Amino acid sequence: MRQIGHLENHSSALTFSDALFVHGIENEVKPDDDGSWIVWVHAEERVPLARELLSLYKKNPDHEKFHQAPEKAHELRRVEQRENKAYKKRMATASRAISGVFENKTGRLTLALIIISAAVALTSGLGSNKGPISGLFITDYEIIGNRIRWRPGLTEVFQGEFWRLITPIFIHYGIFHILFNMLWLRALGSMIEWRQGALYFGILVVVIAAVSNLGQYFLTGPSFGGMSGVDYGLLGYVWIKGKYDPKFGVQLSNVIVQLMIVYFFLCLTGLFGPIANAAHGFGLATGMAWGYLSARRR
C-alpha cells in the first residue's frame, strides 16, 4: 500500500476516495497528526493514475469527475454488495449440494470395490509395476521404446478370461487418481446401492465398466485403468434417473453435474496428463441411457 498525498479535510478526502473507487482504484483515507488526511492506494500499479487524479482534484475539486463521484461510488458499492451476497449464496448452495452427496453410509459392495482398488494400487505401486497385475488389463501388451504393442482381437477374453472386460477399473496411476475416483465411487455408489440394492448396483457397475473399457480399448489401446469411467456412468445414471423418476428419491444438484462436466472437459485438454477420456464418455453415455430407460419403464 502506497501513500500518494494529503488532503485538508475529511469531506474532501472522502470525495476523492469515492472518485478513486469509481476509477477502480482500491484506497483508504486516514487522519494525520496535523489534522489533514492521508490518501493510501492499495495496488502499486495504480499509484501513477491515482497521483494524476489527486493533482487534478487539488487544482479543480469541482470538476464533474469528482462532483458526481460520491453518487457513482454509492451505486457501485451497492452493486458490489449484491454480487458478494449472490456469490456467498451460490457458494453456500454448492457446499450443501456437495455435502448432500456424501450423506449416505457406505454400501457394502461399494466398500468392497474400494478395498479391491486399494489392494491393486498397493500391489502395483500405484500402477508403476504392472507385472503383478498384468492379468487385470483388458489384454496383454508390452512397451517397446515409445510404442505399445499388443495382439488385436482381445485374445485372452475370447479364451475365457472374461474378467478382463471389467478389471481395468481397479488399476490406478498415482494417489490423486485413486483418491478422486474412490471419493466419487463411495458417494454415488452408496447412493444407488442403498436405494436399489447391491445386486442392481453390481450389474450396473459391470455393464458400465465393460462398455467404458471396450470404448477406451478400441480408441486408444489396452494401456489404461481407473474407476472414473464407472464414476461417470454412475453420475449419468443418478442424474437422469433422478430427473425423470421422482420415486427414485434423489435429484442431483446442478452444481454437482456442472462440476463433473467441467472436469470432464478439463481432462480432454491434457491438463492432468494421460486420462482415459473415452472411458469417461462411454461411461457417462451408458449411465445416462440406463437412467433414462429405467425412469421411463417406471
Is residue 132 located within the same domain as residue 280?
yes
Closest among 166, 160, 173, 169 to 130, alpha carbons compared: 173
Cell numbers given for 130: 504392472
In the residue annotation, 280 being an active-site residue is answered as yes
In one-letter notation, the amino acid at residue 19 is A
pLDDT in tens, 168-199: 999 999 899 999 899 999 999 998 998 899 99
Which of 45, 69, 100 terminates a domain? The answer is 100
Does residue 93 have a pLDDT over 60? no
Does residue 208 have a pLDDT over 90? yes
pLDDT in tens, 44-76: 898 999 999 999 999 988 887 788 888 898 888
For all residues of the chain together, what is the average pLDDT? 88
Is residue 133 located within the same domain as residue 251?
yes
CATH number for the domain including 63?
3.30.70.1530
pLDDT for res 183: 92
What is the rounded distance in angstroms from the CA atom of residue 281 to the CA atom of residue 297? 24
Closest among 293, 295, 110 to 188, alpha carbons compared: 110
Q: Is the model more confident about 242 or about 161?
A: 161
Q: How many domains does the chain have?
A: 2
- Of the candidates 17, 124, 190, 228, the residue annotated as catalytic is 228
pTM of the model: 0.65
Domain with 261, as residue range(s), is 102-297
What is the rounded distance in angstroms from the CA atom of residue 245 to the CA atom of residue 271? 36
Is residue 85 located within the same domain as residue 222?
no
Is residue 151 located within the same domain as residue 14?
no
- Of the candidates 172, 212, 280, 294, the residue annotated as catalytic is 280
Is residue 96 located within the same domain as residue 130?
no
Q: How confident is the model at residue 97 (pLDDT cuts 50, 70, 90)?
A: very low
What is the rounded distance in angstroms from the CA atom of residue 114 to the CA atom of residue 170? 9
pLDDT-above-90 percentage for the chain: 52
Within 8 A by CB and 6+ apart from 183, the residues are none
In the residue annotation, 63 being an active-site residue is answered as no
Is residue 277 located within the same domain as residue 150?
yes
